[in-house]
Amino acid sequence: MSIAPRSHPSEPTNLTDDRWRETHLGRLLGHAMRRFDERVLNLMAGNEGVPLALANLASRDQISAAHVHITRHLALEGSRLTDLCKAAGMSKQAMGDLVDQCAAWGLVERLPDPLDARAKRVAFTPVGLAWLQAFKDAVAQAEAEFKEAVGQDVATVVALGLEAYAH
């Protein structure tokens, strides 16, 4: 089996139409995820179960989709920082900064790890669990809005396709 030779970088290419850069699947998925996360944060800002200080931060865009990584990935029983980083696909330093912010806001706390005296576990506080419930409610609402916007059949196909692609 032979491989076609690559064109030399100085040779002209066939890129006269670059609209594909705006509409390829990766870009559309990125736009959709940002829109979904923004809607979830907006809904959380208005949720009565969210403490007023956190709702205020969310409504002023001080809480971002990056902070949602902790909400999405922190296990209910707590997680080691390294496990949280792996689940969220973030560096230890970036996740450590997010955990520090969320701890300052009262969402999480660092506790001794029962399996390793040298390690710490990050766990939700009671305020963090209220935040998690508001996140669950907001995700359900945003998903319902998505289904209404595109129709139940399309929403089902999208969900099945994304699930298959992600795993």
Residue 93, pLDDT > 70, answer yes
Residue 2, pLDDT > 60, answer no
What is the average per-residue pLDDT within 92-101? Answer: 92
The 3 state secondary structure assigned to the chain is CCCCCCCCCCCCCCCCCCCHHHHCHHHHHHHHHHHHHHHHHHHHHCCCCCCHHHHHHHHCCCCCHHHHHHHHHCCCCCEEHHHHHHHHCCCHHHHHHHHHHHHHCCCEEEEEECCEEEEEEEEECHHHHHHHHHHHHHHHHHHHHHHHHHCHHHHHHHHHHHHHHHC
Residue 11, pLDDT > 70, answer no
Residue 118, pLDDT > 80, answer yes
Distance CA 26, CA 45 (A): 29
Give pLDDT, residue 7.
Answer: 58
Q: Tokens at residue 40, please?
A: 């979830």
Apex CA 92: angle with CA 88 and CA 98, to 5°? 70
Percent of the chain residues past pLDDT 70, beyond the cut? 90
What is the average per-residue pLDDT within 80-96? Answer: 91
Lowest mean pLDDT segment, chosen from 33-37, 42-46, 120-124? 42-46
Give pLDDT, residue 56.
Answer: 74
Give pLDDT, residue 3.
Answer: 61
Give pLDDT, residue 143.
Answer: 97
Q: How confident is the model at residue 10 (pLDDT cuts 50, 70, 90)?
A: low
Percent of the chain residues past pLDDT 90, beyond the cut? 49
